[in-house]
Chain A
């Protein structure tokens, strides 16, 4: 079971504003999803190495060579607000 306070906390972390009825809905839905995954708890994982990555390859690297970047207008093209080549954002401290 997941509590309503947890729903509110998760929503805050994701910066999603939820209405009261949505909180109730997600409380139910997330709870049933967690229950569904709880089946995994039954598997015996003693002596099993944790999986950090599902594809079995390692060491994918690139050489340290600079390549051309995007132009400033391209970079800022999707920005809702900009000023003198910067992205404009609300002040957060």
Chain B
């Protein structure tokens, strides 16, 4: 089935103050309407003034996406009534955005490289946030918090180059990665990235799906929409061009069927803001662009002899890449790669926490200390995993955890003792093994590990066990 998907991605830029006023952007976890002034509340007579850093961040994003930067930007008013918009219009860019024509490379299904064209990049202000008591269907009124009103957003619009919901999710992941590398965005902040998607199937009109606010949501919303459109086409009905709302909790898209979203925005230049020339800022900002994920991946492969999989896993998240490089500078880079890409990342995923959060508990030095114990044979692989888990869950230093949890691997004398006991207690299993049942050995190894509380090296236990039992035959 021929599917075409284009995305409009809105990313919050990490400035200290808002786009057109000096209210703090540190509004997460704040009481409602406490980060608000006359400007972002849309009171009459208030004058917006552009935040220089926000403009620079916007240019930085456009450059990193390979766009052609425009010589000047002009802000426009986009007029519509909605309670989250206090003035009745949103200040955005229209005919003169920051940039056009960029490109993002993604690794699609099966590692195939695909190029996704970027149509334009522009800046605008975030609207306020609506809160419903109960569900969106049953609430009789909405509550409005303007703390978010005026947060700088960069909107990145793609051409309809994405071919599946999965590809859309991969693209968003890549975009997030690039924006985080630039230091202008923090993807795990709630609502940091919001997406509208245009989707059409061959033989149908396109539908716009609004209100997608999570990375997983993109894939779910688009999959739902494809199924809906397919069913219409199969029944010989037409897909109408319309705007649909994504309901995250139910995983469905709903027709809005209201004139509210008709595109009658009556854009006109914002008279309170003068044009901003950006040509003179470009070269300086270009020099500030750091090594981006694709380049870093290639360097990791060359410099540390990593596999493509490890290089991918280590460079996707800037915080993990930075963590890895510090660790790899102090101890075997390949061993570090395995333990960070395979073990640490797995433990982070399991706990749904980001490396940024985790780095408050695990420092690269802690990780190096743990790996040194492992290399010297002070702890087993299992002990090493245990230390990582303990550091993530309760904090603490590797040496303390090693002591308090009794993780130091034990010598062969003690393993010998444990084996002796296990053989005595499990005569049936020993008999089974001698009779040729290989699985019985696994059971016995497990019993020895239990006796030693995981402080024995399972490989050593296995070798010693076979020698012992086989020797008796």
Contact = CB atoms under 8 A, between A and B. Distances in A.
B278 to A, nearest CB: 9
A88 B141 contact: yes
B16 A65 contact: yes
B23 to A, nearest CB: 5
Given A13-B264, A15-B81, A61-B49, A87 B33 contact: yes
Contacts of B275: 52-53, 58-59
Nearest to A61: B52
B210 to A, nearest CB: 11
A58 B277 CA distance: 7
A75 B33 contact: yes
Q: Helix, strand, loop or mixed for chain B's interface? A: loop
Contacts of A92: 82-83, 142, 260
Interface string A41-55: 000000000001101
A66 B143 contact: no
Contacts of B23: 66-67, 69
Contacts, number: 129
Contact of B52 (A52, A62, A75, A83): A62
Contacts of B26: 66
A52 B272 CA distance: 11
7 contacts: A61-B50, A66-B16, A66-B24, A66-B26, A86-B143, A89-B130, A89-B144
B33 A85 contact: yes
Interface in A66-93: 66-67, 69-72, 75-76, 83-93
A63 interface: yes
Interface residues of A, number: 35
Contacts of B34: 69, 71-72, 75, 85
Size category of the B interface is 35 or more
B130 to A, nearest CB: 8
A59 B50 CA distance: 9
A62 B269 CA distance: 20
Given A62-B50, A69-B34, A83 B276 contact: no
Nearest to A62: B49
Given A61-B49, A69-B37, A53 B256 contact: no
B178 interface: no
Contact of B258 (A52, A88, A93): A93
Contact of B143 (A55, A60, A88): A88
A57 interface: yes
Given A53-B271, A67-B17, A67-B23, 14 more contacts: A13-B266, A59-B277, A60-B274, A62-B22, A64-B15, A64-B17, A76-B33, A85-B32, A86-B32, A86-B145, A87-B143, A87-B146, A90-B141, A91-B142
Contacts of B136: 93
A92 to B, nearest CB: 6
Interface in B1-58: 15-17, 22-26, 31-38, 41, 49-55
A76 B32 CA distance: 10
B405 interface: no
A85 B273 CA distance: 31
Contacts of B22: 62, 65-67
A52 B276 CA distance: 12
B473 interface: no
B274 A53 contact: yes
Contact of B33 (A53, A55, A57, A72): A72
Interface in B233-280: 245, 256, 258-260, 264, 266, 269, 271, 273-277
A89 B142 contact: yes
Contacts of B328: none
B55 A61 contact: yes
A75 B277 contact: no
